[in-house]
Each structure stands twice: as C-alpha cells, then as structure tokens.
C-alpha cells in the first residue's frame, strides 16, 4: 500500500503517533487497554510509539476500570479536532448526526486523520466525508465500522483491489444471526430469544437497528461503495425479520435451506448496482449457512479472485478495538488511502429497484379456520398460476396449537409479482393473515 496523504500522520517515524479518543464506552476503553498492553508490539510493527494523549466522554467521574489520570480531558469532543497535540482523532461515540458528525468533519477540515467505528455516519454522509477527506488530504479510515474484528474493509479495499468484483455479501449483523441460530437450535420463539439477546448485551433496548436490518444496511452501503461505487443510502432496499417464526425455520430446513439475514450487492451492466438487506432462505450446505451465533461472515466474488469468505466475531470490546488499531497502525506506518480506495471522487447512484429482480420465493400462507388444506392448496395454485407465478414445491402442515399452513416454493419470479399477489391471497376467504414471502438466495 502506498502513501496517498501526507500530513502529521506521516511525520518522522521516530516521533510518537498521538491519538485523541472521543467516546470511552466498551470500544474506547478497549483501545486504551490494547495500546497499553501491546506497547512494544505496536512499536515493532510500526517503528514508532502510539500514545493516547487526550480523551472526551460524557461523564468524567464514571469508573471505566482504567487509569485516565495522565490524559487531557475535553468536555466537548469537537475540541479534539483542534487540539494541536492530537495527530489522529478516533471517533467512537456513534450516531450519524450531532457531535460525532461535527467532530469528524471538523477534524478532516483541520487536516487530521480520523479513525472511526461509526457505520451510520460513514454510510449516511459518504459523499460529504469523501469530499472533505479528498480536499484536505486527511485520511478517514473505518475498518471497525463493518463486521467488528473481521478485516472486511481491508479485504475489499486492499485484498481484492485488482479485481472487478461481481458480488459481495453475507451475514453482517451478529445480533440477528444469534437470534435466528437460537430459534433454529432450541425452537424458542422470536420474542423470547430477542429478550435473551438484550439481556446478554447483544441487542439494545431498542433492537430495531439489528432486527429491522438497518445496521446491516449501513455496513453493506460502505462495502458497496468500495467494491462498486457509492450508493444513495435511502435507495437500498431493507426488510426486517420480525415475522419469522421457529416454524418457518423448521419448514425451510425440511426443504434443504437455512434462514439467514443477508446483505447482498451485485454489479450490474452499465455501471448499475443491486443492493438489499433481507432475511433469505439459503442452501443448508452453503458456507454461510454454517455461520452461527454472533458471528459475521463476508463473501466476495470476482473473475480473478473467485469466491472468498471470511468469518469472525462481529462485535465486542476485543475484536472492535483490534479493528480500530488496524487503521491506527496503517497511519503510524505512513499509509493512507482515499475513502473508497480510489483517487477520483464519484457521486453516489441509486440502487436498482429490487421489485424487478428475479428470484424464487418461499411463501407461508396461514389458512382460515375450517378450510380444507388440500382444497386450499389446489385453489391457491390456480390463483398463483393466473398471475403467472408457478409453484416448484407445495405442501401443507399444521403446527402445534395453530391453524393449518401452506408452504410453497415458487419458480423464478419478480418481487413485483409477489407483492402483487400477497394482498390478493390475503383477501380470499381461504387465507387468514398476511402471507409471508422470503427470497431464496442460491449461494454456493
């Protein structure tokens, strides 16, 4: 990797690299612990010492389990951007707006390098940050923003930089993967497992970012910008997993599939991009189907590099602090990269509408009380056929304590066609409740 930006970061190797950290939660304190425990190792890796000289957090008096007495404290985190003794601003506060955004933009304007774990900030303000980084020759690195301890950014931006990737994607949120894994292994209900995830600290009190797909969407947007080109975040199609039941997981298994929350992006002809986040059925034999618990996984595919998959812990103090320090080490070595790994700035484009994309779909249709399941299966096949939706497989079953259900796998069809048929099915006397439709993603 060659040096692109030249500023205080790439000063003489004998001088220490001085960090100012905003945010002293789990990750921020983890970074300080790592630096103190691995002082000699970091010096041997970079040829210079790395020191934390200033910090900022909401509460000065909180016991964080580490000694902060030798560090300069700023009540206003934005002051780190203008602290002459700080070479690199490390933003670990989170949030796409407010102090985090102001700190990062002010630091870049001041020509300071920035390292952040803030996926929402990078995804939602990509164009502004890329311009500031380019204009002021200030590196902005964000390895920790995607998949925690997995080197996902480095893999896409550096490891396969010579290849024109055709596809990337995977399991980009550990909380949703933990919930689906526990549901599959224990048969417990979604709400019960979600509460356990919150009790264990995997999910927040408001879990919507994880289970509704927005956390994964931020990560996918960042990876898509590096692999293909920047995208308009709000054009990315996002669907959550709240309606998935343990019975859906069991039915998928009987059909040879597992259910995983995926984020996928593809390069399309004429410089177009497809990108979406949603729960999918994937073949039970596929590599991603074996990734369980709080683990994340990313797969890339290209004509030269072929398929490559990496997996590991997607969150937590240790893995995320290690990812932050991977960027700091690059800066200490004098390495800098443009935001998306390209020297030219690109305006973001909108993703292709997912409604026109073709796929097979899993349909779960709950029948009204008293409806004969065999008769319903025959009649619904006819209704679907009238809308040019062909069925590859269909059966019915009655989960314990619930109404009978039809489980269907369609042949390839557009999402437009599925969205058109769902309200038609719901309005028939045969059906009770809105049918569930899940995309089938045939991964290797």
List per-residue pLDDT tens for the chain, 444 residues long. 444 444 544 444 579 999 999 999 888 999 999 999 999 999 998 889 999 999 998 887 787 888 888 888 999 999 999 999 999 999 999 888 999 999 999 999 999 999 999 999 999 898 899 889 988 989 999 888 887 778 888 899 988 988 999 999 999 998 999 999 999 999 999 999 999 988 887 777 888 999 999 999 999 999 999 999 999 999 999 999 999 999 999 999 999 999 999 999 999 999 899 999 999 999 999 989 999 998 999 999 999 999 999 998 876 777 888 889 998 998 998 877 777 877 777 888 999 999 988 999 999 999 998 888 899 999 999 999 999 999 999 998 888 777 889 999 999 999 999 999 999 999 999 998 889 999 999 877
Neighbours of 269 (CB within 10 A): 5
| Ranges of each domain in the chain | 8-148+321-332, 152-312, 355-440
Task: Please give the model's pTM, rounded to 2 decimal places.
Answer: 0.88
Q: Which pair of structure tokens corresponds to residue 36?
A: 């103190």
Q: How far is CA 256 from CA 102, 151, 248, 363, 440, in A?
A: 49, 31, 12, 15, 11
The secondary structure of residue 82, as a DSSP letter, is: G
Nearest to 330 by CA among 146, 162, 140, 161: 140
pLDDT for 11: 47
Looking at the DSSP assignment, which residues form a beta bridge with residue 330? Answer: none
CB 20 within 8 A of CB 50: no
Q: Which residues belong to the active site?
A: 219
- The Cα 152–Cα 399 span in angstroms is 40
Using the Cα atoms of residue 292, residue 295, residue 296 and residue 302 in order, give the sign of their dihedral.
negative
pLDDT for 182: 94
pLDDT for 13: 54
What fold characterizes domain 355-440?
Alpha-Beta Plaits (3.30.70)
Residue 241 burial (CB < 10 Å; 0-12/13-18/19+)? buried
pLDDT for 335: 79
Residue with token string 């497989």: 393
Residue 49 burial (CB < 10 Å; 0-12/13-18/19+)? middle
pLDDT for 235: 95
Nearest to 426 by CA among 353, 356, 363: 363
What fold characterizes domain 152-312?
Dihydrodipicolinate Reductase; domain 2 (3.30.360)
pLDDT for 204: 78
Q: Which pair of structure tokens corresponds to residue 122?
A: 């990078």
pLDDT for 399: 81
The secondary structure of residue 431, as a DSSP letter, is: B
pLDDT for 205: 80
Residue 325 CA to its chain's centroid (Å): 20
Name the CATH code of domain 8-148+321-332 (choices 3.40.50.300, 3.30.70.1560, 3.40.50.1370, 3.40.50.720): 3.40.50.720
pLDDT for 59: 82
Q: Which pair of structure tokens corresponds to residue 171?
A: 């399991």
pLDDT for 243: 95
């Amino acid at each position: 990797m060659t040096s692109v930006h030249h500023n205080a970061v790439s000063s003489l190797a004998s001088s220490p690299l001085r960090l100012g950290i905003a945010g002293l939660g789990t990750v921020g304190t983890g970074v300080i612990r790592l630096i103190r425990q691995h002082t000699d190792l970091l010096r041997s890796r970079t040829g210079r010492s790395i020191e934390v000289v200033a910090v900022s957090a909401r509460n000065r008096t909180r016991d964080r389990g580490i000694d902060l007495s030798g560090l300069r404290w700023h009540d206003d985190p934005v002051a780190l951007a203008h602290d002459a003794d700080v070479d690199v601003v490390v933003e670990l506060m989170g949030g796409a707006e407010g102090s985090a955004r102001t700190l990062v933009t002010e630091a870049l304007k001041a020509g300071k390098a920035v390292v952040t774990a803030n996926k929402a900030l990078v995804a939602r303000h990509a164009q502004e940050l890329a311009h500031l980084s380019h204009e002021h020759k200030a590196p902005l690195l964000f390895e920790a923003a995607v998949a925690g301890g997995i080197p996902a950014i480095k893999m896409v931006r550096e490891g396969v930089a010579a290849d024109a990737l055709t596809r990337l994607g995977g399991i980009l949120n550990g909380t949703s993967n933990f919930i689906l894994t526990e549901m599959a292994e224990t048969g417990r209900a979604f709400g019960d497992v979600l509460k356990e995830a919150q009790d264990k600290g995997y999910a927040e009190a408001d879990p919507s970012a994880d289970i509704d797909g927005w956390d994964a969407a931020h990560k996918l947007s960042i990876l898509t910008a590096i692999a293909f080109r920047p995208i308009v975040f709000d054009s990315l199609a996002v669907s959550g997993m709240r309606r998935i039941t343990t019975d859906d997981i069991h039915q998928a298994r009987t059909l040879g599939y597992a259910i995983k929350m995926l984020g996928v992006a593809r390069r399309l002809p004429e410089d177009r991009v497809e990108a979406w986040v949603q729960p999918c059925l994937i073949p039970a034999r596929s590599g991603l189907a074996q990734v369980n618990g709080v683990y994340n996984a990313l797969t890339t595919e290209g004509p030269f590099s072929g398929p490559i998959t990496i997996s590991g812990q997607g969150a937590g103090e240790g893995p995320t602090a290690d990812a932050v320090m991977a960027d700091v080490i690059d800066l200490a070595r004098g390495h800098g990269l443009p935001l998306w790994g390209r020297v030219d700035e690109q305006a973001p484009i909108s993703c292709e509408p997912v409604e026109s994309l073709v796929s097979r779909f899993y349909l779960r249709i709950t029948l009204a009380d008293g409806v004969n399941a065999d008769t319903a299966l025959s009649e619904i096949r006819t209704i679907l056929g009238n809308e040019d939706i062909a069925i590859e497989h269909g059966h019915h079953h009655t989960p314990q304590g619930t109404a009978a259900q039809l489980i269907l796998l369609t042949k390839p069809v557009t999402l437009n066609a599925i969205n058109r048929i769902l309200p038609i099915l719901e309005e028939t006397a045969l059906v009770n409740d809105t049918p569930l439709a899940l995309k089938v993603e045939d991964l290797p």
